[in-house]
């Protein structure tokens, strides 16, 4: 009898420990987007944001036995902490409103092609089936034939390096920024390309972006080489690029930013430099909206951002077209303020 009582008390204490541990971690991670975007804090939120997040679900499951001992209090704690973590850390969204597309709606897509020859037939079918008006590519292979993708239809194409834009409306090139212009060492590619889309009743300035990847900062950890200096150096490069990109977008009055920002919405770096824009998925998306897939997890790092010039009516992620990124489709409705 005493042994049963001892086991009962031990199990009760363990369940309380796991409940407190989960609730503490949930509240801790729920505040991540408000953390300082500094090199000192970067190692913590790098690991929490870019590595798999399934540990949170596992810890939540392990803490559920507390419901047996404290049904009401444990349930309230799990609901409050779990929903907070689900919304503010994992980035889950739900929207019930549905809007019909009209003449003032522009359907745009951003896709990181991964420097591979993506399935051109599937991409062409995706563009036609969804009646896409504009698509922005990052890491598009040099030998990818855009005319093969869009057929003989009248599309306007603008390309600089591995950044490209195809549009049903005329395009005007404004400027582009090479990574080598702002970063020392062996770097390649463009940080962004700014262009104008000439719609029937207005001209919209857009920016196709591909910011520095966090990969070089995370790889040492995956190889069990816990070199914080490499991670901090990577953070400083990304901080520098994000700062310049955001400032140039503001100075050149960019209305739409789309592309691979290589950071989730919850990132302190995103919140520091891009929070002034409306995030299309945050405004109109459903679910987690993951656009980048690995063997272990997925992330929402491809974005469409815009000013109050328009509003997002729809934001959804398409099917696999051959890259490790998925196409991200958004309907933008332009607001007539006159």
pLDDT tens-place string over residues 89-143: 999 998 877 666 776 899 999 999 987 767 888 888 999 999 999 999 999 987 6
* CA distance between the termini of the chain: 81
- Strands, E assignment, the chain: 105-112, 134-138, 156-160, 163-167, 171-178, 190-198, 203-210, 256-260, 278-279, 292-293, 298-299, 302-306, 310-317, 328-334
Q: How many residues does the chain have?
A: 338
* 105-334 topology per CATH: Deoxyribonuclease I; Chain A (3.60.10)
| pLDDT tens digits along 180-207 | 999 877 678 999 999 999 999 899 999 9
**Cα separation, 133 vs 151, whole angstroms:** 14
Burial label, 69 (beta-carbon count in 10 A; 0-12, 13-18, 19+): middle
Residue-level pLDDT at 337: 54
The pTM of this model reads 0.92
Instruction: Give the start-to-end residue ranges of the domains of the chain.
Output: 2-88, 105-334
Percent of the chain past pLDDT 70, that is, above it, reads 95
């Amino acid at each position: 009898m005493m042994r049963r009582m001892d086991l009962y008390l031990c199990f009760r204490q363990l369940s309380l420990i796991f409940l407190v541990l989960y609730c503490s971690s949930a509240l801790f991670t729920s505040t991540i987007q408000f953390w300082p975007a500094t090199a000192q804090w970067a190692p913590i939120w790098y690991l929490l944001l870019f590595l798999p997040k399934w540990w949170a679900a596992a810890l939540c499951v392990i803490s559920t036995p507390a419901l047996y001992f404290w049904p009401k209090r444990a349930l309230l704690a799990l609901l409050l902490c779990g929903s907070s973590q689900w919304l503010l850390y994992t980035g889950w969204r739900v929207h019930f409103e549905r809007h019909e597309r009209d003449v003032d709606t522009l359907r745009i897509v951003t896709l990181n092609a991964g420097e591979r020859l993506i399935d051109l037939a599937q991409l062409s079918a995706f563009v036609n089936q969804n009646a896409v008006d504009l698509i922005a590519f990052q890491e598009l292979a040099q030998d990818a034939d855009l005319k093969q993708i869009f057929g003989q239809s009248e599309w306007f194409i603008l390309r600089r390096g591995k950044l490209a834009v195809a549009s049903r409306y005329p395009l005007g090139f404004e400027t582009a920024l090479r990574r080598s212009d702002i970063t020392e060492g062996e770097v390649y590619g463009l940080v962004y390309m700014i262009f104008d889309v000439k719609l029937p009743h207005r001209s919209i300035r857009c920016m196709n972006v591909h910011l520095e990847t966090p990969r070089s900062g995370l790889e040492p950890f995956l190889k069990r080489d816990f070199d914080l200096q490499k991670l901090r150096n990577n953070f400083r490069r990304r901080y520098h690029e994000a700062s310049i990109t955001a400032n140039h977008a503001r100075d050149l009055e960019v209305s739409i930013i789309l592309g691979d920002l290589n950071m989730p919405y919850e990132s302190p770096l995103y919140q520091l430099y891009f929070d002034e824009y409306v995030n299309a998925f945050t405004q109109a998306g459903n679910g987690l909206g993951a656009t980048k897939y690995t063997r272990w997890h997925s992330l929402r790092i491809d974005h469409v951002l815009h000013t109050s010039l328009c509003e997002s009516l729809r934001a959804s992620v398409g099917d696999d077209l051959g890259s490790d990124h998925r196409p991200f489709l958004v309907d933008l409705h332009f607001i007539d303020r006159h």
